[in-house]
């Protein structure tokens, strides 16, 4: 029997039981489409996080608070606790003049209620210095960023979304804005001097406002630590592109360990590459997990194909006997049932690919559960899903085909 004849027989058998064939293929369609969509979601998550990290700037090193040991060796600060990183640490890095370091920007993060006329909005505050815009490579849509000599003034630079929400199309620069801290216990009036360019995507900077760190800390005493130092949430350090990143990190770590008088660093020094690698590792694990879950659907679909083919062998016992009686070889019977299972699986796989790719494209950029979805369709996921569908068909048809060859022609001809 030629391949064309085997395909014609398989197609005739599939079309002869349309509903059963459709339900059988449905398991494979769901499995293949699920693999493509879930892997696209996992890869999209990785891309979104990577883009967000790269959007922070280029050639950056971040110093964050770690865990500080108490007098009895008991940790007194948790991860990102401000108790282990202070303003003087940022100043010390500047004074050390480490080769390759181009700029240092301290950050104090807190939340406040922003009020402009009748509009109010909860915002994330970033207390920083004039070096921030240069270190982070930030661009402004209008006005200026904080300048040298303005550290003690009540000035504010707005993120794009904050400006749009509070001033509704009006020009914010030059207007006044009140920031209320501590649940409304402390309120100050700031003058808007600039609006940041829109970052877009998942960029958090669009929802932040920037103020001189010294202007706030000098007026709000509870922001200082018990020792009088100014705690920081993070220190951003820009380095030259041709500088050895690991060497700079080692020098910063050595300097801060000396200042903190600790044997083990009570801070964390990371580069953008470190963050991207960590995010990639997590995303790859997520993609593997999602793909494995979807793979279960493919397995179930394969079991369904094998089950239907076994039923088909039982129902077509007389047909098999007639074919054997007129001279069909065992290999012809095997070819017939394997081709039928393979055709069913490949058709289901192609439909699943179309649905999976289309679903991934439709999900991209849409809000799902309050989160904006990002999907990236990978060609290898399509190839893998199609290959698995073909293997499922081959395996699922092989055992029923073997069962078909074991049917005795005489017994088969007697079957009703």
Q: What is the pLDDT of residue 148?
A: 86
Q: Write down the H helix ranges in 316-378.
A: 317-325, 330-363
Read off the pLDDT band of 355 (50, 70, 90). very high
Instruction: Give pLDDT, residue 203.
Output: 54
- Region 94-106: mean pLDDT is 90
Beta strands, E only, 75-232: 101-116, 119-128, 140-143, 155-158, 176-181, 186-196, 208-212
pLDDT at 266: 86
Dist CA 286 CA 361 (whole Å): 20
Stated pTM of the model? 0.63
pLDDT at 20 over 60: yes
Does residue 72 register a pLDDT over 50?
A: no
pLDDT value of residue 354: 92
Residue 99 pairs in a beta bridge with none
Mean pLDDT is highest, among 27-31, 59-63, 209-213, 400-404, for 209-213
Q: Are 138 and 107 in contact (CB under 8 A)?
A: no
User: What pLDDT is recorded for position 370?
Assistant: 67
% the chain with pLDDT above 90: 9
**Residue 308: predicted pLDDT:** 77
Tokens 């914010």 belong to which residue? 172
Average pLDDT on 93-118 reads 89
Q: How confident is the model at residue 413 (pLDDT cuts 50, 70, 90)?
A: low
Torsion of CA 335, 340, 346, 352, to 10 degrees: -160
């Amino acid at each position: 029997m030629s391949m064309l004849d085997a395909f014609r027989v398989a197609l005739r058998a599939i079309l002869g039981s349309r509903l059963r064939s459709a339900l059988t293929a449905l398991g494979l369609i769901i499995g293949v489409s699920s693999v493509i969509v879930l892997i696209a979601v996992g890869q999209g998550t990785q891309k979104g996080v990577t883009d967000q990290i790269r959007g922070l700037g280029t050639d950056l090193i971040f110093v964050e608070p770690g865990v500080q040991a108490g007098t009895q060796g008991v940790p007194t600060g948790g991860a990102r606790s401000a108790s282990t990183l202070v303003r003087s640490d940022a100043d010390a890095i500047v004074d050390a003049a480490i080769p390759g370091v181009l700029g240092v920007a301290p950050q104090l993060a807190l939340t406040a209620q922003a009020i402009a006329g009748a509009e109010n909005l909860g915002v994330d505050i970033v207390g920083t210095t004039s070096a921030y815009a240069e270190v982070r490579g930030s661009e402004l849509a209008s006005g200026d960023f904080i300048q040298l000599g303005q550290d003690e003034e009540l000035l504010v630079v707005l993120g794009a979304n904050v400006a749009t929400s509070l001033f509704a199309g009006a020009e914010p620069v030059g207007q006044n804005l009140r920031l209320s801290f501590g649940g409304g216990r402390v309120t100050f009036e700031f003058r808007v001097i600039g609006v940041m360019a829109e970052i877009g995507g998942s960029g958090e900077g669009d929802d932040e406002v920037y103020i001189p760190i010294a202007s706030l800390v000098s007026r709000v005493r509870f922001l200082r630590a018990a020792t009088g130092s100014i705690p920081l949430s993070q220190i951003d350090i820009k380095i030259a592109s041709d500088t050895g990143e690991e060497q700079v990190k080692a020098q910063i770590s050595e300097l801060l360990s000396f200042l903190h008088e600790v044997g083990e660093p009570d801070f964390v020094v990371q580069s953008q590459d470190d963050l991207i690698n960590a995010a990639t590792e997590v995303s790859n694990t997520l993609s593997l997990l999602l793909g494995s879950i979807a793979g279960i659907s493919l397995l179930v679909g394969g079991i369904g194909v094998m089950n239907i083919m076994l039923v088909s062998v039982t129902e077509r016992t007389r047909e098999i006997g007639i074919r054997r009686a007129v001279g069909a070889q065992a290999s012809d019977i095997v070819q017939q049932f394997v081709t039928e299972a393979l055709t069913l699986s490949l058709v289901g796989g192609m439909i699943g690919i179309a649905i999976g790719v289309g679903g991934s494209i439709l999900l991209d950029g849409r809000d799902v559960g309050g989160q904006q979805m990002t999907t990236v369709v990978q060609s290898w996921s399509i190839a893998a899903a199609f290959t698995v569908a073909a293997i499922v068909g081959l395996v699922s048809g092989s055992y029923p085909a073997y069962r078909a060859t074991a049917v005795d022609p005489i017994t088969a001809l007697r079957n009703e």
